Amino acid sequence: MEMEQKNQGTLGSIEDQFNLIAEEYDMNRRKFIPCFEDYYKNTTKFIVSNIHKPKRILDLGAGTGLLSYFWYLYFPASEYVLVDIADDMLQVARKRFAGIDTVLYQAADYSREFPAQDFDVIISALSIHHLENRDKKKLFERIYDKLPEGGLFVNYDQFCAGKADMDDWFDSYWESQLSDSGLTEHDIELWKERRKLDRECSVEEETAMLAERGFKSVKCIYTYQKFSVIIAIK
């Protein structure tokens, strides 16, 4: 079963950039994220050990389904809805979850189109930082409204330091790590183009936005340079 709602919105540049790299996205993920094991695996293991089995999970900016896969390892009986603006990325997710009818797909701009269902858990990885802060706030309102009391939102994302000098440190070091990672010059140039689409806020700014919306417990549970994981409980 699939939810096919192809969006014709305004984020064509993001859609094009990620459709371009869909097939090689997972292969390069470990190279682009120097803290991959902690960021995806260990933080997820920590989170799922502290919650009851969710009936329905929404993955915003799901891409190839990589984050949903790590959650699926713990909750295979849950229903998953994967939303992404780049349908070519979702095609990779369809291959990943081939034959599993509890994983649904929606090709859409989630900042404009949001699934109609309610969810026990909403997750996102490396996506929300593409939104301006005013749009992040609107998104957090939708997320809050879709969760029950005690529901959980988890954002695995990249953030700025909030101070220009420290941002320069993080950005220059990240680029140097990529140069030593085995990525091709072409891959790094594509990464630089995608970076132009980033609208990062700081961890402090995002946790404040979530608390302002009404989440009763908001905490950054992991940080490595630009990569952090924030949890918010309604």
pLDDT tens, residue order, the chain (234 aa): 334 333 333 334 444 433 343 455 666 778 888 899 999 999 999 999 999 999 999 999 999 999 999 999 999 999 999 999 989 889 999 999 999 999 999 999 999 999 999 999 999 999 999 999 999 999 999 999 999 999 999 999 999 998 888 888 888 888 788 777 777 888 778 777 877 888 999 999 999 999 999 999 999 999 999 999 999 999
- CATH number for the domain whose boundaries are 12-233: 3.40.50.150
Spatial strand order in the sheet of 103-107: 103-107, 79-84, 56-60, 121-125, 152-158, 227-233, 217-224
Helix (H, G, I), strand (E, B) or coil at 169: helix
- In a 3-state reduction of DSSP, which class is residue 222? strand
Q: Which pLDDT score, from 0 to 100, does residue 65 have?
A: 94
Beta carbons of 13 and 130 less than 8 angstroms apart: no
Judge if pTM exceeds 0.75: yes
225 φψ region: left (φ > 0), alpha (ψ -120 to 50), beta (else): left
